[in-house]
Structure 1
Amino acid sequence: MADSYQIKDQGGTYFLTCQVVGWVDVFSRQAYRDIIIDSLKYCIVEKDLIVYAYVIMTNHVHLIVRSNSERLSDTIRDFKRFTSNQILKNIDANQSESRKDWMNVVFEYHARFNKRVKEKQFWTHENHAVELTSNEMIDSKLNYIHENPVRAAWVENAEDYLYSSARSYAGLNNLLEIELI
């Protein structure tokens, strides 16, 4: 992994991208997006995670976060481990998941190349961590996150996408309580 994309300052503010292996469009289903939201809520309350911005796309999640406990790497590792386990269990238990067999093939394939994963790999190892050290960087990444659903042509206005912090920045109710940056 490139040294420049690691979380070095455990108390710093970072832009992160958590990507599903093989770019599998898992989050096209609400149940899996809700697992991400619930897990972020848990991390905020129990692990001192501060979420400034987020968006859940079909195959990746962008975040701007900081850790009050200065254990950001540990928190993100735990978040990815928990959500991976929960989503994989949900996929297997969901009788109406038409893509189950195909997704499991992809997850099993990627696990074969990772010594730390036994059966299935859900997330890529990288988080593409970029420390945000200036207001210009923060503004750029915040705009990038919020414009993702607009660029994907899902919504006309960023605040119309339910699984994004753009709603909070527009003064609307949001699924996840965040801190404005």
Structure 2
Amino acid sequence: MGEAYQIKDQEMPYFLTFQVVGWADAFTRKIYRDFILENLTYSRKEKGLYLYGFVIMSNHIHLVAQQKDGKLSDWVRDFKKFTSKKLLKLILENPQEMPLRKILHLRYYNLGHSMWQMKIKL
């Protein structure tokens, strides 16, 4: 990860962008948005995430967040890993998602098993 995309001060709030690989429109359906909202709620209650604001767009998520224990990088890693696996599973199991399934399946395996591309700003 380039230096511009590293969380240097774990105690500070950061502007984070989680982009779906290939700009695939994964969040046009309510089921996938709801999954992200459930994960953010869980992260606030159980993982000590301070969530100052967020927006879920059709193919990316912006949020301003800070981690209570100064472990924002750990939270980002866990969020990306868990949501990547679960979202891909939900999409691949949904027969209505054939175009999205093809895009994500190809990019997911070509980009090291991650559904997310990420940008970080202080």
TM-score, normalised by the number of residues in structure 1: 0.63
Pairing 1:2–2:15 present: no
Q: What letter corresponds to residue 14 of structure 2 in structure 1? A: Y
Find 1:122's aligned residue among 106, 112, 115: 115
SS in 2 for 1:129: strand
User: Deviation string for 1:91-150 (max 9, x for gaps)?
Assistant: 12223x2x33x22322232234434x2xxx3212x2x1111xxxxxxxxxxxxxxxxxxx
The one-character-per-residue Cα deviations of 1:64-110 (angstroms, maximum 9, x if unpaired) are 00000111011011112111122112112223x2x33x223222322
Percent identity between the two aligned chains: 42
**Following the alignment from structure 1 to structure 2, what is the Cα–Cα distance between the partners of residues 24 and 89?**
15
1:163 matched residue in structure 2: none
Structure 2 unmatched ranges of 5 or more = none
Give the Cα–Cα distance (whole angstroms) in 1 for the partners of residues 94 and 106 of structure 2.
Answer: 21
Superposed CA RMSD? 1.5
Give, in whole Å, the separation in 2 of the partners of 1:111 and 1:64: 26
Q: 1:107 aligns with which of 104, 107, 112?
A: 104
Structure 1 CA distance for aligned equivalents of residues 41 and 109 of structure 2: 32
- Select the structure that is richer in strand: 2
Consecutive unaligned residues of structure 1, counting only runs of 5 or more, are: 132-181
Structure 2 match to 1:20:
20
d(CA) in 1 for partners of 2:105, 2:93: 17
Alignment of 1:65-104 (within 5 A): 65-95=65-95, 97=96, 99-100=97-98, 102-104=99-101
Contact residue 27 and residue 33 of structure 2 kept, 8 A: yes
> Does 1 or 2 have the higher relative contact order (CA < 8 Å, sep 6+)?
2
Aligned residues: 122
* Cα separation, 1, equivalents of 2:59 and 2:13: 23
CA distance in 1, matches of 2:67, 2:88: 27
